[in-house]
A and B are shown apart, each in its own frame.
Chain A
Amino acid sequence: MSFRDFTEPTLPRVNSGAARLLPLLTTILAALVTILPLRAPGYAALTPAFTLMAVYHWTIYRPDLLPSVALFAIGLAEDLLTGAPIGFAPLAFLLTRAVVLRCRRYFVNQAFPFVWAGFTLVAGSTLLGLWAVHCLIELSLVNPRYTVFRMVLTIAIFPLASFLLGRTQRALMGTG
């Protein structure tokens, strides 16, 4: 199996600096939202994977503007700041990128339900995979309840995140 980073220069050029930085800035913003404490019952354990939504969205529409190195750095910072086991977030983001890049041509210019279904598959398997890794490194069967709830919440909120990201993308880049 071979991964490839995004190299094809097929996407429309974006000249404005602000627009070029948009994917990076929104992904950092999503990471910040994940870190900030919201005092809702049970929220800390169920915090949706906001950053994963941004990673999925931008890898489909502008993979050129959100490079792997940025994903690695953002993921590492998120893990360090949330106290999560180190390496989990970068692994999740980079695997998502790898999978989405391979299937990108099926997602571009598709109706939203199709993109959402893709996210369900990608985010679902990523979060379940991380749960399995967590069980493995803790050498115990961690209750999967929170992972399942978090997965459902992440998938349920994705349409809103996708709408917001799509809107800003159209406003600043005029494409998408």
Chain B
Amino acid sequence: MIRLSPQVRAGIQRTTLPALILLSAAIVIVGKADQTMFDRFRTTLSDAVAPALDVLSRPLAAAESTLDRARGVVALYQDNRRLEQENERLLQWQQVALKLSADNRQLRGLLKAVPEGKVSYVTTRVIANSGGAYVRTVMVNAGAEDGLARGQAAITGEGLVGRLTEVGSRASRILLITDLNSRIPVVIDGSHSSAVLAGDNSDRPRLVYLATPDAVKVGDRVVTSGEGGIFPPGVPVGVVTTVSSSGPRVEPYVEMSQLGYLMAVDYGLSGALPQPIPPATRPGRRTKTASGE
């Protein structure tokens, strides 16, 4: 080790803090200007600590499931009655669905419609929280090793959660539809009016670029439109809850703060999302990408 004189050492100590503050400020600016620059660090670090986060988040999940169970025992009787009624109703719907599905198959056969591609699911668990007040993302404990790829949709049983933006080998990050940078092409069910669902870090994203703004009513169902080729059409997103001068707002079907398990879905479309351009081969000017992300 190099021996330093006390004056030099004191000098270094005195300048460390301001130097690091300047470095942090520089990182904020550089990180914003070139967002792909730190992606590799993010995925590498996420991969490295994913096993630890996985283990650490388990007791939390266990405590939550115990609480859930206790709550379930208390509400057992009411739940049972409600479910019996619901079951009766759903059995009727099942008959309807079976009949429609048979009809649909037959008509598709008559029309020689192209069959839809195979859909594959990977179920993952949320292992890390999002970045406080600034972003709406979650980290899950699966990555490229498990078949996840950038651009895949993340859903739960209720509806769309977001899409995979960073995929490491063992951990991945999902940009929620409520995030400031999330833009999802959607269509209002019923009126077939297309729009873009724009997140703004609040719990209820806005509908912008509406084709027919006056046709939107409170209670309208919003589903993905499939435009842009990132999501397949018809994935449920949410319900229009308010219609004001600043534009309609949509309450997502999925409660984003209660995400436990979610599914990464491969619809065979994930190639549509442009991969980040590797720094070494980056040309002088950015190449235009197909989906214009």
Which residues of A approach B to under 8 Å, CB–CB?
2-7, 32, 34-47, 49, 67-69, 71-72, 75-77, 79-88, 90-91, 94-95, 97-98, 101, 127, 130-131, 133-134, 137-138, 140, 142-143, 145-147, 150
Q: Is B115 an interface residue (CB 8 A)?
A: no
Q: Is B270 an interface residue (CB 8 A)?
A: no
- Say whether, besides A5-B17, A41-B255, A75-B24, A86 and B31 are in contact (CB < 8 Å): yes
Contact of B137 among A6, A83, A91 (CB under 8 A): A83
Q: Shortest beta-carbon distance, B169 to chain A, in Å?
A: 16
Contact residues, B228-256 vs A (CB, 8 A): 255-256
B13 contacts A7, C-beta separation under 8 Å: yes
A82 contacts B46, C-beta separation under 8 Å: no
Which single residue of chain A is at the shortest CB-CB distance from B173? A83
Contact of A39 among B42, B201, B258 (CB under 8 A): B258
Contact residues, B4-27 vs A (CB, 8 A): 10, 13-18, 20-21, 23-27
List 23 A-B residue pairs with CB atoms under 8 Å apart, sorted by A's residue number: A34-B132, A36-B53, A36-B57, A38-B129, A39-B259, A44-B257, A45-B130, A68-B16, A68-B20, A69-B20, A72-B23, A82-B137, A85-B131, A87-B24, A87-B25, A88-B28, A94-B17, A98-B21, A127-B133, A137-B32, A140-B180, A143-B200, A143-B202
Contact residues, B80-133 vs A (CB, 8 A): 126-133
B49 contacts A81, C-beta separation under 8 Å: yes
Contact residues, B132-175 vs A (CB, 8 A): 132-139, 173
Which single residue of chain A is at the shortest CB-CB distance from B44? A80
Contact of B201 among A7, A37, A47, A143 (CB under 8 A): A143
Q: Compute how far the CA of A145 lies from the CA of B205 in the bound complex, rounded to whole angstroms.
A: 15
A83 contacts B135, C-beta separation under 8 Å: yes
- Say whether, besides A87-B31, A90-B20, A137-B28, A36 and B56 are in contact (CB < 8 Å): yes
In the complex, the 4 A-B pairs of residues with the closest C-beta atoms, listed nearest first? A84-B131, A87-B27, A87-B28, A86-B31
Q: Compute how far the CA of A90 lies from the CA of B136 in the bound complex, rounded to whole angstroms.
A: 20
Chain A residues within an 8 Å CB radius of B72: none
B14 contacts A81, C-beta separation under 8 Å: no
Which single residue of chain B is at the shortest CB-CB distance from A76? B27
Chain B residues within an 8 Å CB radius of A72: 20, 23-24
* Most interface-central of B14, B133, B139 (chain A CB within 10 A): B133
Q: Compute how far the CA of A36 lies from the CA of B53 in the bound complex, rounded to whole angstroms.
A: 7
Q: Compute how far the CA of A48 lies from the CA of B257 in the bound complex, rounded to whole angstroms.
A: 15
Contact of A37 among B10, B24, B25, B128 (CB under 8 A): B128
B129 contacts A5, C-beta separation under 8 Å: no
Q: Compute how far the CA of A94 lies from the CA of B200 in the bound complex, rounded to whole angstroms.
A: 29
Contact of A97 among B17, B41, B133, B259 (CB under 8 A): B17
Chain B residues within an 8 Å CB radius of A77: 45
Q: Compute how far the CA of A64 lies from the CA of B46 in the bound complex, rounded to whole angstroms.
A: 30
- Say whether, besides A5-B14, A47-B132, A72-B24, A32 and B56 are in contact (CB < 8 Å): yes
Q: Is B79 an interface residue (CB 8 A)?
A: no
**Per-residue CB proximity of B181-207 to A under 8 Å, as 1/0?**
000000000000000000011110000
Chain A residues within an 8 Å CB radius of B256: 44
B16 contacts A5, C-beta separation under 8 Å: yes
- Say whether, besides A36-B53, A69-B20, A86-B27, A150 and B131 are in contact (CB < 8 Å): no
Which single residue of chain B is at the shortest CB-CB distance from A93? B24
* Given pairs A4-B17, A83-B130, A140-B180, 12 additional interface contacts (CB within 8 A): A4-B14, A5-B16, A37-B127, A38-B129, A39-B259, A43-B257, A44-B132, A45-B133, A49-B132, A72-B23, A82-B130, A90-B23
